[in-house]
Homo-oligomer: A and B are copies of this chain.
Amino acid sequence: MLSTGLPLGTVPKLERPGPLRERVYEALLELITTRALRPGQHLVESELAGHLGVSRQPVREALQRLNTEGWVDLRPAQGAFVHEPTEEEADQLLTVRTLLEAEAARLAAAHAGTAGIAALEELCAKGESAVADGDVDLVVATNAAFHAKVMELAGNVVLAELAGQVDRRVRWYYTPVARQRGIQSWIEHRDLIAAIVARDGARATEVMRAHTEHTRKTYHEREQG
């Protein structure tokens, strides 16, 4: 039994640097998603290691994790290459994303409490004001936060895990066109909140499906532009 009398949660958790491989992983993922490392590029372990000021080992471990998550292709005895997204793969990812997000919406409608709904509305307001301000980066970030919140309210950790990875990859493919979707996206978010408040799982599913399908259409329209 803890008898320290300390109110729990007030301890700063004194941040530890954490495993080096994690930081390398984050760094590489950042470099990939920001296009600093371009698709198809050959990633040489010793180069990255020197550039990041660490040994090869953490770099290797990070690369292998990135491999299992689909960010890099690890050809045996040849090295790591940044994965090259194809149109087909992007489409399949969007399909899966639609599926996962729609289910999350259904579950969120079933389980969300008042606190969760308030959080959603807050994020929605933040997103709308970001749109008004023209702060594109904030719009994108808030959009991700909104979807993550819905996923959290769904209360399914496994689902959240998968959706997190899929979403991040979708965002990678989708970044160049993300800027096109403006206020419309947040109107749909409002609809979703309404459905969740009404505890209408079927409608929440449908709204989310329409929402993500809408982004898919935007993606495909870009190709022809």
Give residues in A with beta carbon < 8 Å to B. 16, 18-19, 21, 57, 60-61, 64-65, 68-70, 76, 89, 92-93, 95-96, 99-100, 103, 156-159, 161-162, 166
Report how far A66 CA is from B35 CA in the complex, Å: 28
Report how far A92 CA is from B163 CA in the complex, Å: 13
Using A64-B65, A68-B68, A162-B162 as known contacts, say yes or no to A103 and B99 having CB atoms under 8 A apart: yes
Cβ of A65: which chain B residues have Cβ within 8 Å of it? Answer: 64-65, 68
Cβ of A99: which chain B residues have Cβ within 8 Å of it? Answer: 99-100, 103, 159
CB distance from A171 to the nearest CB of B (A): 15
Using A18-B76, A19-B76, A76-B18 as known contacts, say yes or no to A158 and B96 having CB atoms under 8 A apart: yes
Cβ of A16: which chain B residues have Cβ within 8 Å of it? Answer: 76
Name 8 A/B residue pairs within 8 A (Cβ), A-sorted.
A61-B64, A65-B65, A70-B161, A92-B159, A95-B158, A96-B162, A99-B99, A158-B166
Report how far A60 CA is from B58 CA in the complex, Å: 11
B95/A157 in contact, CB under 8 A? no
A92/B61 in contact, CB under 8 A? no
Cβ of A69: which chain B residues have Cβ within 8 Å of it? Answer: 68
A95/B156 in contact, CB under 8 A? yes
B64/A95 in contact, CB under 8 A? no
Cβ of A61: which chain B residues have Cβ within 8 Å of it? Answer: 60-61, 64
Cβ of A96: which chain B residues have Cβ within 8 Å of it? Answer: 103, 156, 158-159, 162
Cβ of A64: which chain B residues have Cβ within 8 Å of it? Answer: 21, 61, 64-65
Cβ of A19: which chain B residues have Cβ within 8 Å of it? Answer: 76
